[in-house]
């Protein structure tokens, strides 16, 4: 039985993510006959990804159709689902802004500053959806999911859900501890990039005593002998130190960046390269200079593989992308919303009472049930006081500060947020940074959005 739908991907030049979606889509036979529209502003990357996606659909013997467009309006028109994976300006602008911030004394940049471009883009996308596909679901994949989804769900009536795979860190922990993931029950609620294993059980028994034993007897050997890639976070020294401080294990990006995630409770893991190496290994983790360079090289390697595959039609695409599930849940979510198949997935939705102490209109992350054409957060209850007051209450305040500045177009309020950064030593430092940043190439949208009041 076919349940063909129209799926639009905004920012499809993010090649690995787009092709992961394609892989999951061709494996989902209940969505046979669907149309996938790939949209990006980079024509070269778009055509490479589109060409490979079309061949993938043919090889998989599916009735899926694939088309590409440079027009966002064209992609969105009459869509049933929109997946936004776009990074406004791309990595080139992001890296230039990071270098600019470092010149002003902000090691590895300021996410509070660079997120402004994506907030503007997110709002543009969802507002356009209201005009050309008002009944469509928006699945938000690119960051900042926390601020962006909270903003969009407050400003529009569009159906919106955010997805992120950081919670999958529990699988890494299970493997290191020698546990079968299929026999584990878990829950990791919080805010996107700020989640904790509040429940972590193996056959009904808490895994935390096993983790404590591993920390006591095996952690030092693991840190010394394991070749840690740039993505190692879940069992890093930083994650274990944070666990000891707050009583629950953080997952994914929670300890990754000092002006994101758990924020004030993790900045010392990232103060300089020496600190990063101490807490995340010799490479300094995902967000160090070498770690991020490795990540960008990984992306370029993927594009080179795609280009070689496109240029060699004799090579089956399945050699590059085997026909196995990607581990992402975007297509599973779509399938459940279309077919009615009930699933429980990690999602980002307005709280509406799921977590005590968090405002109802703040988007939280946690398990949600997809049923009856809707997605609903499962009840979590309360966080331990130490976790709530040290992590979540301050994080919610910073969210509201950021969105107030954005909603009011108030550069003075944005300036106040940057003044609170622990690396700021003088008002003149922030003023010089803002002056240069707002004149930088690629930041015209932010310069037009903000003004002093």
Residue ranges of the alpha helices (H) in 312-439? 330-339, 385-387, 393-407, 411-419, 427-438
Q: Which of 44, 135, 165, 272 is catalytic?
A: 165
Residue ranges of the alpha helices (H) in 133-168? 145-155
Residues whose CB is less than 8 angstroms from the CB of residue 422 and which lie 6 or more positions away in sequence, other chains included: 258, 264, 267
Find the radius of gyration of the CA atoms of the chain: 22
- Separation between Cα atoms, residue 38 and residue 52, nearest integer Å: 12
Question: Residue 240 CB: number of other CB atoms within 10 A?
Answer: 20
Q: Is 165 designated active site? A: yes
- Separation between Cα atoms, residue 311 and residue 217, nearest integer Å: 51
- Separation between Cα atoms, residue 269 and residue 279, nearest integer Å: 6
> What is the number of residues in the chain?
453
Cα 104 to chain centroid distance, Å, stands at 27
Q: Which of 40, 253, 259, 287 is catalytic?
A: 253
- Separation between Cα atoms, residue 11 and residue 443, nearest integer Å: 18
End-to-end CA distance of the chain: 58
Residues whose CB is less than 8 angstroms from the CB of residue 235 and which lie 6 or more positions away in sequence, other chains included: 172, 173, 176, 219, 222
In DSSP notation, 78-121 reads T-SEEEE---TTHHHHHHHHHHHHHHTT-TT--HHHHHHHHHHH
Give the three-class secondary structure for 299.
helix
Give the three-class secondary structure for 132.
helix
Distances in whole angstroms, Cα of residue 360 to Cα of each of 70, 137, 296, 364, 377? 37, 21, 37, 9, 12
As a 3-state breakdown, the chain gives helix, strand, coil percent values, each rounded to 5, of 50, 15, 35
- Separation between Cα atoms, residue 240 and residue 254, nearest integer Å: 12
Q: Which residues are catalytic?
A: 165, 253
């Amino acid at each position: 039985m076919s349940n063909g739908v129209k799926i639009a991907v905004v920012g499809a030049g993010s090649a690995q993510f787009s092709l992961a979606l394609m892989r999951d889509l061709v494996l989902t036979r209940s969505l046979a006959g669907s149309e996938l529209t790939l949209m990006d502003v980079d024509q070269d990357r778009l055509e490479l990804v589109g060409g490979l996606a079309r061949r993938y659909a043919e090889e998989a013997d599916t009735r899926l159709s694939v088309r590409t467009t440079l027009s966002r309006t064209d992609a969105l028109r009459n869509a049933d689902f929109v997946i936004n994976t776009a990074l406004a300006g791309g990595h080139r602008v992001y890296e230039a802004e990071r270098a600019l911030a470092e010149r002003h004394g902000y090691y590895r940049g300021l996410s509070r500053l660079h997120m402004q471009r994506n907030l503007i883009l997110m709002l543009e996308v969802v507002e356009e959806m209201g005009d050309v596909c008002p009944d469509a679901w928006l699945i938000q994949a690119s960051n900042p999911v926390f601020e962006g989804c909270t903003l969009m769900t407050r400003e529009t009536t569009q159906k919106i859900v955010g997805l992120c795979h950081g919670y999958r860190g529990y699988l890494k922990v299970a493997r290191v501890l020698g546990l079968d993931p299929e026999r584990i029950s878990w829950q990791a609620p919080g805010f996107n990039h700020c989640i904790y294993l509040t429940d972590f059980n193996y056959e009904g028994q808490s895994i935390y005593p096993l983790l404590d034993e591993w920390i006591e007897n095996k952690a030092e050997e693991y840190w010394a002998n394991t070749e840690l890639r740039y993505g190692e976070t879940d069992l890093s020294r930083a994650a274990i130190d944070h666990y000891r401080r707050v009583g629950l294990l953080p997952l994914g990006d929670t300890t990754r960046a000092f002006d994101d995630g758990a924020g004030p409770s993790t900045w010392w893991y990232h103060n300089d390269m020496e600190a990063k190496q101490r807490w995340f290994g010799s490479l300094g983790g995902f967000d160090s200079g070498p770690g991020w360079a490795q990540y960008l090289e990984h992306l370029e390697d993927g594009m080179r593989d795609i280009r070689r595959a496109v240029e060699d039609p004799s090579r089956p695409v399945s050699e590059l992308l085997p026909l196995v599930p990607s581990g992402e849940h975007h297509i599973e979510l779509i399938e459940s919303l279309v077919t009615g198949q009930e699933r429980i997935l990690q999602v980002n939705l307005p709280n509406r009472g799921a977590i005590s102490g968090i405002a109802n209109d703040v988007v939280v992350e946690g398990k949600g049930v997809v049923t009856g054409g809707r997605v609903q957060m499962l009840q979590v209850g309360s966080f331990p006081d130490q976790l709530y007051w040290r992590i979540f209450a301050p994080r919610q305040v910073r969210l509201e500060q950021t969105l107030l500045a954005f909603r009011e177009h108030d550069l003075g309020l944005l300036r106040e947020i940057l003044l609170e950064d622990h690396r700021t030593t003088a008002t003149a430092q922030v003023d010089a940074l803002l002056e240069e940043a707002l004149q930088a190439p690629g930041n015209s949208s932010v310069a037009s959005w903000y003004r002093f009041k």
